[in-house]
Every structure is written in structure tokens, then in C-alpha cells.
A = this chain, B = another copy of it.
Amino acid sequence: MSDCIMTLPLRVEPFTEDFMGTLSWGVLGNLLLRISEKHATANEYGYEALIQKNKAWVLSRLSIVMSELPKTYDEFTLSTWVTNSFRQFTTRNYTMRKASGEVLGYATSVWAMIDTQTRAPYNIDQFDVKGTFAERIVADDVPIAPPERIRLRAIEPVASYTTGVSDIDINGHVNSIRYLQLLLNLFPIEKYRQERLVRIDIMYAKEAYCGDELRLFLEHQEGGKYATQIVNVTNEVVVKALFYFE
């Protein structure tokens, strides 16, 4: 049971803060990816183990709900565990706590196993012949509402962006968190000063590659809720996301 839940002691490093001096959402998202990979590697289903069999994990959904963000040099812990698996999909949860134990926030993610040669989904049970993956499942949910469905009526993009080499990660496609940063940039800096971003739900629909021209859409829906979308040149949805400000 000891490696079913991985907990890392972390600290907000200098130059990982946003302009307000608290851990940036981009770095927070990157830390979630990092611990996911470390936990997977510790359990024999990480990047290296999968790539040898032409498989990879692709992030499909991510929800992050924060009640507070730590500031420079603050110590905190990040925990992760896998809570279920169904065909190619698996749900991975996260809890972030202050050193005192108080919860800073929760996150939940859905990952899909794909075949790297065909890019088609691959059944996790077929990969997990030894049952290592199934054995490590912990059925603990995080206390956050399930993400809402994301629908946009907006027809005019508010920004465009052509991806470059710095946006591409080891999987050869645009890094999942880079999209998040591009979408965070759609809101004026004053909004972050005056309100508090409390929740992000992001849904990954299609991969983008180096040199792709992306168009970004933003729609205020109700209260502090904003829907966003990124499409590629052939108008296919790459990413959709909801942002909740309070």
C-alpha cells in the first residue's frame, strides 16, 4: 500500500511565482504533471516503461480547485493516487496541503493510454498484464464538483498564437500546461488583482504540434464563469476550458 499514494514535500521556488508573488497556475499545473509521471514511474507504468511498448499517457481532462496559493519559500505537500481505470482511461487525483496539513486545493485528472504508432486508444488492462496498475488503485475521491460541460457560442477569436519549439514537450506535441498559460493570458492582469481565480476545468480534445496556428476564443457565461476554446487552422477544437473567478 505504501506506494499507492505518493506524497512529495515541495517548496515554492523563487521564479515560480506569478506577478502577485504566489505559485503561478502554470507551475502548479506543471507540478501536477511531474508528480503524475513520478508516481507512474515508481509503479512501473511511467513514460520509460510505456514507450518501450509504444504506449504513452495523454492528458484528457484536468480540474484544479484552489482555496489558496502558497507564496515564495512556503513549504507544501502534493499527493497523488489513481482512483479508477476504465478501458483506456484512468482517473488520477491530487491534494495539495500546507506544511501544517491544511488543504490548499484539490485536482483531478483523466489520462488516456494511447498507442504511440497509431495514436489510437489502448486498453489499460491489456497493458497491465501483471496487474500492477489495478493493484495500486485507491478509491478515494476529492471533494470537488464534477466539471461542467463546456459550450461556446463565440464565433470571433480574441487572440491567435503560432506554437514554437519551447511549447513542445517530450511527447512531441504542445505541452498540456502551455495551453493553460495561453488561456490565462486571455484575461487582463487587473482581473487577477481584483478577483481570485478559484477553479479551472480543462478538456484536451486534439493534439497540436510545432508551428501550428491556433486561434483562441473567450466567452463570459455567468457570474465569474468564463468559457474558452482553442482551435487549429482546420477549425478543430484542440482544447476547451472553464475559468471561475470569485
Contacts and interface: CB of A to CB of B under 8 A. Distances in A.
A24 B166 contact: yes
Interface in A129-185: 159, 162-170, 172, 175, 177, 181-182, 184-185
A187 B210 CA distance: 11
A14 B26 contact: no
B18 A30 contact: no
A18 B168 contact: yes
Contacts of A20: 170
B165 A14 contact: no
A7 interface: no
Interface in A173-208: 175, 177, 181-182, 184-189, 192
Contact of A170 (B72, B175, B177): B72
B15 A34 contact: yes
A21 interface: yes
Contacts of A33: 14-15
B21 A170 contact: yes
Contacts of A168: 18-19, 189
A48 to B, nearest CB: 8
A9 interface: no
A224 interface: no
Contacts of A177: 15
A210 B189 contact: yes
Given A210-B189, A211-B188, A211-B189, A15 B169 contact: yes
Contact of A164 (B13, B30, B169, B186): B186
B166 A185 contact: yes
A180 to B, nearest CB: 8
A34 B13 contact: yes
Contacts of A18: 165-166, 168-170
B211 A184 contact: no
Interface in A17-39: 17-21, 24-26, 30, 33-34, 37-38
